[in-house]
Structure formats: C-alpha cells, structure tokens
C-alpha cells in the first residue's frame, strides 16, 4: 500500500546530523529502528521500572515490554492510516530510552538533584542518548538517527533546551506540530500504558475490578464480557475486557484521525507541522473516557500506599547516589570519571553524573548504592 501524501516518506528525509551513504536493502527509517534495537540503552529497558520495580515480580511490564506494546499499537494504526510504519516503530521503540531507574520517581529525584545544573528531562535525555551517549560507531557518537525519528523522540522539551537544538528545537519555540508518525507514537504510548497498568494493577492486587468498574471504558467492556462469557474465570474476564478496551481505543483513534485527515487534507508533512493542532486524536467521547481511566490510575494505582513506599525508597537511592558521585566523580567507572574530569564547569560535571545515574537499571542502581555506601568484607 502506498504512503499517504501527509506521511513521512523515507526518500525525502531531512537526513542525519552526519552524512552517511544510503542504506542498501533498508530504508532510512528501517535503519533507525535497527540501530535503536542494537543499542545498549534499549537492552537496559528490560531492567527499568514502568510502574513496578523490576524485582517486584517477573510478570509486570518493564520499560522494554512497554515499548514493544507501544510499537505494536503504533504500527497497527500507522498501517491503516497509510503512515510510515517503520518510522512509527523506530520512535515507539526509542521513546523511553532516556528514562531513569525507578520510573517517574527516579526522574523526579534526578530532576531535583539537577536543579542548580540545568535540570533533567527524560525526553531530552532520550535524545542525548541517540545523539551523543551511545558509543558504538567509529564515525560519530550516538546513533546518528534521521531528523524525523529524533523529532518523534523529543515529545516535550523546555524552551531553554529547545534553543540548544537548532532545527529540531524550533517547533517548541514556534509552537508547531511534529509529524503524524510522532503524534501517533505519543498516543500509542498512552493506550499501551493505560491498559497494561490496569492489567498489572489487577495482578498486583493494588486495584480491584469493583473499583475499575467506576470508569466508563472498563465498565462497558466488562459488562459485555460478563454477558458473553459468564462461565469464564475472573482472570479471563479481565483480560477479555482489556483486549476489548485496547481494540476500542485503537479503532476510535484510527477512525477519528482518518476523518480529521480527510477534512484537513494537508498537502505534505510541512502542512501537518503547520496545521496549528494535532491531527491524530481520539473522538471527543473516547478522549473523555480515556482521560477518566488515566485519572483513575493516577489516583488509585500510581499513588497507592505500597507504590508510594517504593517510590520514596527509589528517590532516596537516586538522590544519595547523585550527591556522592558529584562530590567525588572518581567513584564512577573510568569512562564517566574521565568525562567528569574534562568537564568545563560544575554544570558539565553534574551532567556527566546525571548521564551515569540515568543510564542505570533498577538493579544496577540498588547494587551501586550498596557498593558505595555499605562497607563489606571481601571474601
Ligand atoms: Mg512510554
């Protein structure tokens, strides 16, 4: 199937920071996706918290399985809207690369630590990883991805950071939209985490079916499942409900966006960027139900007493690690301590420490905390 005129065509990419020969066999966006999958930051997602810390259970989502679910949803919608599927996949797989250990608690703690040194934003960190920190290629640092993949990765950005990014930062200053592929990856993220957090929340026992029935989206699909499958086990009924919720959200997103694109009829990607509003979105009714589910999870799961206790521990671990490493950068492995020694000023030194801490997996951060703070007898 041919690409829609408003899709990103790999043959017309705005290109890479460092010029490279065109790939053989693959398009530029396929190459981007492959480089993300081969990166070490991607492998580390396996041991990073989504909501539950990695060691709390083997069946909960991690950032890696979350990213795969985002990509799966993104690709389905991309194909049906004739958007560039490989670009959507590349953005989805890369969108959480910059996340710290311990999920949002870790990110908040690191941002607080970095307040005197330029702050810490996880989207901006994802971009730093693909632009600078990955160290694999002889000809350049980072992964040297195309403009369009980098545009999608940078979902949010402060104006201060946007000013340092040239063409990529312009949209945050001029209030323009990103490509449709980037808009889609953003909503695919939301569909994935709302639904898998319902699943993980139920599995953990921190939220119940009775509570969830207060949300319109869950209640209407749960009712339909109880009627169709009254003999099924509660576990099967929950999963049937969740798959129907995902299906409704994906279908609604596809239909509402197709109608919007038909009406707006942007001539090309630049017209999409200048459209003045996002063209990929849910219908108003489903947007409201989705928002209600999101608010429910925020209130009942993310702020649950037991999640909060883990969050508090995570914040302390990140905060104390950061302080100790900034105080004595020689505690970091040579690759990072050498960079810290070369830093021009305290901001630069703190940034190296933030890069090191942000790159840690949950279990590495816990081990490193022990190695630094707990004296042990060498056996
Ligand atoms: Mg995500």
Tens-place pLDDT, residues 114-170: 999 999 999 999 999 999 999 999 999 999 999 999 999 999 999 999 999 999 999
Considering 302-316, 323-337, 363-377, the range whose residues carry the highest mean pLDDT is 323-337
Q: What is the pLDDT of residue 1?
A: 72
Tokens 């060691």 sit on residue: 55
Question: Of 220, 183, 194, which is closest to residue 295 (Cα–Cα)?
Answer: 194
| 102-111, 125-134, 369-378: least confidently modelled range | 369-378
Provide the pLDDT confidence category of residue 305 given band limits of 50, 70 and 90: confident
- Ligand 1 centre and the CA of 186: distance in Å? 8
Q: Which pLDDT tens digit goes with each residue over 39-77?
A: 999 999 999 887 777 667 777 889 999 999 999 999 999
Interaxial angle between packed helices 234-264 and 216-228, expressed in degrees from 0 to 180 and rounded to the nearest 10 = 120
- Ligand 1 centre and the CA of 200: distance in Å? 15
Q: Which pLDDT tens digit goes with each residue over 9-42?
A: 999 999 999 999 999 999 999 999 999 999 999 9
- Ligand 1 centre and the CA of 97: distance in Å? 9
Rounded Cα distance between 31 and 86, Å, is 9
Q: Which residue has the higher pLDDT, 379 or 100?
A: 100
* 62 φ, ψ (degrees, to nearest 5): -115, 175
- Ligand 1 centre and the CA of 189: distance in Å? 5
Average pLDDT over residues 312-330: 95
Rounded Cα distance between 353 and 155, Å, is 24
3-state secondary structure of 16: strand
Q: Which pLDDT tens digit goes with each residue over 160-206?
A: 999 999 999 999 999 999 999 999 999 999 999 999 999 999 998 99
Q: What is the pLDDT of residue 122?
A: 92
Provide the pLDDT confidence category of residue 379 given band limits of 50, 70 and 90: low
Q: What is the DSSP annotation of 307-334? A: HHHHHHHHHHHHHHHHHHHHH-GGGS-H
Burial bucket for residue 72 (CB in 10 Å: 0-12, 13-18, 19+)? middle
- Ligand 1 centre and the CA of 41: distance in Å? 14
Structure tokens at 64: 């890696």
- Ligand 1 centre and the CA of 67: distance in Å? 6
Structure tokens at 113: 């630590």
Burial bucket for residue 36 (CB in 10 Å: 0-12, 13-18, 19+)? buried
Q: What is the pLDDT of residue 335?
A: 93
- Ligand 1 centre and the CA of 297: distance in Å? 15
Question: Of 217, 236, 194, which is closest to residue 70 (Cα–Cα)?
Answer: 194
The gap from C-alpha 168 to its chain's centroid, in whole angstroms, comes to 18
- In the chain, the domains with their CATH numbers are 10-305 (1.10.3210.10), 306-373 (no CATH)
3-state secondary structure of 265: coil
Interaxial angle between packed helices 346-359 and 334-342, expressed in degrees from 0 to 180 and rounded to the nearest 10 = 160
Structure tokens at 364: 């590495």
| 62-71, 89-98, 193-202, 367-376: least confidently modelled range | 367-376
Asked if residue 304 lies in contact with residue 205, where contact means CB atoms within 8 angstroms, the answer is no
Question: Of 120, 125, 66, which is closest to residue 98 (Cα–Cα)?
Answer: 125
Residue 23 to residues 26, 140, 153, Cα–Cα distance (Å): 6, 16, 22
- Ligand 1 centre and the CA of 364: distance in Å? 21
Provide the pLDDT confidence category of residue 308 given band limits of 50, 70 and 90: confident
Tokens 């994906």 sit on residue: 250
Structure tokens at 321: 């690690």
Q: Which pLDDT tens digit goes with each residue over 215-242?
A: 999 999 999 999 999 999 999 999 999 9
* 49 φ, ψ (degrees, to nearest 5): -65, 135
User: pTM for this one?
Assistant: 0.96
Evaluated on CA atoms 46, 217, 123, 74, the torsion sign reads positive
Tokens 């490509």 sit on residue: 179
Neighbours of 221 (CB within 10 A): 20
- Ligand 1 centre and the CA of 63: distance in Å? 7
The gap from C-alpha 297 to its chain's centroid, in whole angstroms, comes to 18
Rounded Cα distance between 38 and 233, Å, is 40
- Ligand 1 centre and the CA of 334: distance in Å? 31
Q: Which pLDDT tens digit goes with each residue over 270-297?
A: 999 999 999 999 999 999 999 999 999 9
Strand ranges for the chain from DSSP E:
none
């Amino acid at each position: 199937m041919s690409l829609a005129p408003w899709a990103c065509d790999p043959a017309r990419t705005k290109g890479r920071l460092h010029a490279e020969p065109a790939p053989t066999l693959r398009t530029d966006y396929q190459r981007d996706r492959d480089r993300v999958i081969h990166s070490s930051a991607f492998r580390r997602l396996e041991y990073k918290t989504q909501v539950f810390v990695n060691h709390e259970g083997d069946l909960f989502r991690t950032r890696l399985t979350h990213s795969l679910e985002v990509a799966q949803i993104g690709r389905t919608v991309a194909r049906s809207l004739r958007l560039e599927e490989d670009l959507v996949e590349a953005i989805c797989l890369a969108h959480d690369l910059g996340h710290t250990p311990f999920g949002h608690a870790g990110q908040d703690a690191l941002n607080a630590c970095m307040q005197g040194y330029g702050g810490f934003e996880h989207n901006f960190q994802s971009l730093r990883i693909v632009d600078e920190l990955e160290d694999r290629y002889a000809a350049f640092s980072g992964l040297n991805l195309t403009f369009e993949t980098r545009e999608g990765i940078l979902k949010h950005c402060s104006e201060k950071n946007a000013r340092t990014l040239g063409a990529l930062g312009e949209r945050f200053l001029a209030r323009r939209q990103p490509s449709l592929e980037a808009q889609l990856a953003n909503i695919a993220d939301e569909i994935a985490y709302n639904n898998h957090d319902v699943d993980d929340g139920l599995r953990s026992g921190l939220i119940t079916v009775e509570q969830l029935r207060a949300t319109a989206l869950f209640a209407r699909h749960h009712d339909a499942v109880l009627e169709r499958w009254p003999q099924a086990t509660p576990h099967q009924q929950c999963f049937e409900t969740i798959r129907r919720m995902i299906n409704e959200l994906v279908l609604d997103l596809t239909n509402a966006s197709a109608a919007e694109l038909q009406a707006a009829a942007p001539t090309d990607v630049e017209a999409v960027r200048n459209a003045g509003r996002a063209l990929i979105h849910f219908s108003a009714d489903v947007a409201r139900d989705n928002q209600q589910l999101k608010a429910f999870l925020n209130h009942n799961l993310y702020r649950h007493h037991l999640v909060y206790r883990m969050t508090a521990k995570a914040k302390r671990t990140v905060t104390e690690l950061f302080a100790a490493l900034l105080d004595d950068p020689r505690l970091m492995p040579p690759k990072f301590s050498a960079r810290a020694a070369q830093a021009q000023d305290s901001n630069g030194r703190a940034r190296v420490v933030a890069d090191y801490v942000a790159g840690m997996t949950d279990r590495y951060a816990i081990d490193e905390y022990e190695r630094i703070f707990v004296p042990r007898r060498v056996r």
